[in-house]
Amino acid sequence: MSDHSISEETNLRLLRHDLYNPINQIVGYSELLTEELEAGEDLATEDLSKIKDSALVLLEMIRSRLTPQELKAEKHSSTEEKSSGSVVQLKTNHTNKEHLRQSDRLAGRKGRVLVVDDNASNRDLLVAALSRQGHVVSTAEDGEIAVSSVKEKPFDLILLDVQMPRLNGEQVLEYLKANDQFSMIPVIMISGLDDIDVVIRCIDCGADDYLPKPCNLTLLRARVDSSLEKKFRYDDDLTLYENLKEAQSRVRAQIDQAQSVISQLSATSSHDPNVTRLLSHVSEIASVLVDNDTALHVTIQKLEVKISRQSVVSQVKAITSDPAFQSLSDRARLMRQRRQQLGA
């Protein structure tokens, strides 16, 4: 393929990425306003203004950046866009049901969420959507700021955009998963269709899930709840593990004391029946303590396996086998092939 064709493909890729942002904001803020209307709340006029501003940005991009050749490329890819829509909708419907079940289990537990995106309007939309659920939301405008934020305070979940200046989403994820202090924080990648290959690499690296642009708010909340539930289970398991280790330490101290008493009683030359009975009772106590220690040891070992980083990483890799995810991946691959054929 010629350098000219490669340049056209790159330009179209960038255009599609840039178009996702205003579309994402228009859809997202419209859904927020719809929720406010259904809940009988007063409409937020600033959200209406954001919809208008995003629409004007989108209109200007269409006027200034869409060329006839790019329109032709888009026309050839539209069939695949439509044909896969039912798969995405099925995925959304399935996730909506799962969201309802998980919401019941998560009642009262809100997360500390970090939103990382270089686009201010995208950040504001995610903050608005997640804050309505009661989550405590922080933001970072690029990868370097995100890394600094994670070092400064704890988070239960990170929403991470793929394409950003300085450190991109993939680089941030690699840093987090390589650091034991941060490796268990769930990460949801946010991407456009053209970034799906990067998303696959990110999931292989340890990302927990992904969200396509524009983000459906119901889908967003469902996947946030699912990832937070996983984090809360991990935190609960870790707390239980630490408590069991403390209990095991106390039991072993009691075993040492019992064995010391047994040694002292056994060394007594007296054949006093009271001493003999006391020795028997202490030996029974020591036996029970040893049994408790053995049971604690088995439980602790199981928890160690459950909360280990390796077992968690192997679980999240199963995401790439999801039919809807594979459909998106195939769409991205076919679209690239078609563009190459058009440019040949």
DSSP 202-270: HHHHT--EEEESSPPHHHHHHHHHHHHHHHHHHHHHHHHHHHHHHHHHHHHHHHHHHHHHHHHHHH---
Residues 73 and 174 grouped into a single domain: yes
Number of domains in the chain: 2
3-state secondary structure of 156: coil
Is pLDDT of 146 > 70?
yes
Q: What residues contact 336, with CB distance under 8 A and at least 6 apart?
A: 9
Residues 208 and 278 grouped into a single domain: no
Residues 301 and 326 grouped into a single domain: no
CATH number at residue 149: 3.40.50.2300
Q: Which H or E run includes 161?
A: strand 157-161
Measure CA 84 to chain center.
24
pLDDT in tens, 209-223: 888 877 788 888 888
Residues 278 and 217 grouped into a single domain: no
Please give the average per-residue pLDDT across 248-258, as a whole number.
88
The proportion of the chain whose per-residue pLDDT surpasses 70, expressed as a percent, equals: 64
What pLDDT does 259 receive? 85
pLDDT in tens, 26-62: 777 777 777 777 777 776 667 767 776 766 666 666 6
What pLDDT does 86 receive? 36
Q: What is the pTM of this model?
A: 0.61
Which residues constitute the domain of residue 94? Answer: 3-228+321-343
Q: What residues contact 148, with CB distance under 8 A and at least 6 apart?
A: 140
Q: How far apart are CA 27 and CA 2, in angstroms?
A: 37
pLDDT band at 66 (very low <50, low <70, confident <90, very high): low
What pLDDT does 327 receive? 60
Is pLDDT of 122 > 50?
yes
Q: How far apart are CA 215 and CA 200, in angstroms?
A: 18
Residue with tokens 């008493």: 261
- Cβ atoms of 187 and 226 within 8 Å: the answer is no
CA-nearest of 197, 174, 173 to 116 is 173
Is pLDDT of 170 > 70?
yes
- Mean pLDDT over each residue of the chain, to the nearest integer: 75
What pLDDT does 151 receive? 95
Q: What residues contact 42, with CB distance under 8 A and at least 6 apart?
A: 36
Residues 255 and 280 grouped into a single domain: yes
Residues 89 and 220 grouped into a single domain: yes
Is pLDDT of 63 > 90?
no
Q: How far apart are CA 334 and CA 230, in angstroms?
A: 34
Residues 199 and 330 grouped into a single domain: yes
Residues 11 and 101 grouped into a single domain: yes
More confident residue, 283 or 105: 283
What pLDDT does 228 receive? 92
Is pLDDT of 147 > 80?
yes
Residues 237 and 221 grouped into a single domain: no
pLDDT in tens, 128-143: 889 888 999 999 999 9
Please give the average per-residue pLDDT across 107-122, as a whole number.
86
Residues 224 and 239 grouped into a single domain: no
Lowest-pLDDT range, 108-117, 176-185, 271-280, 291-300? 271-280
Residues 82 and 197 grouped into a single domain: yes
What pLDDT does 80 receive? 43
Reply yes or no: is the peptide bond before residue 214 cis, omega within 30 of 0.
yes
Residues 328 and 189 grouped into a single domain: yes
Tally of CA atoms within 13 A in the half-sphere of 289 that contains its CB? 19
